[in-house]
Amino acid sequence: MTDASLPAVPSLARRFGALLLDWMLCVLVAGLFARPMVDAWAPVVVLIAEYTFFVGLFGQTPGMRLAKITCLGEQTGQPVGLLRGAVRGILLALVLPALPLDAERRGLHDRITGTLIRPAV
């Protein structure tokens, strides 16, 4: 498949799959310092840290990498930095900002942080 044949916007299934992979990883990591099934805050804290670090510095979380999608700055096409990665992670953890989607399938968390989800190249 060539770059030109890749869809401009990844499917919701691909995005959800990446989030599900990341969530499973967060539960595993949270198990190192808490009881994730009892301490519900622990995987959420790990998810925010994961997004801060991976999206902020590399433009994709481990789940996004496996799903072959990337999250980059709308204007720059580059990773968004730690602060915007953290804000995106916090908003995603709140769930509601991710639900209302625009025509490009961007949730409120994407619009607030100026990020776009695209196929990884």
End-to-end CA distance of the chain: 11
pLDDT tens-digit series, residues 1-37: 444 544 588 988 999 999 999 999 999 999 999 999 9
Q: Could you give the number of structural domains in the chain?
A: 1
In which band, very low, low, confident or very high, does the pLDDT at 101 lie, cut at 50, 70 and 90?
A: confident
Q: Is 3 inside any structural domain?
A: no
DSSP for residue 37: T
Burial class of residue 14, CB neighbours in 10 A (0-12, 13-18, 19+): middle
pLDDT tens-digit series, residues 30-67: 999 999 999 999 999 999 999 999 999 999 999 999 99
DSSP-derived 3-state class of residue 20 = helix
Q: Is 39 inside any structural domain?
A: yes
Q: Is 1 inside any structural domain?
A: no
Q: Is 109 inside any structural domain?
A: yes
59: containing domain: 9-119
Q: Is 67 inside any structural domain?
A: yes
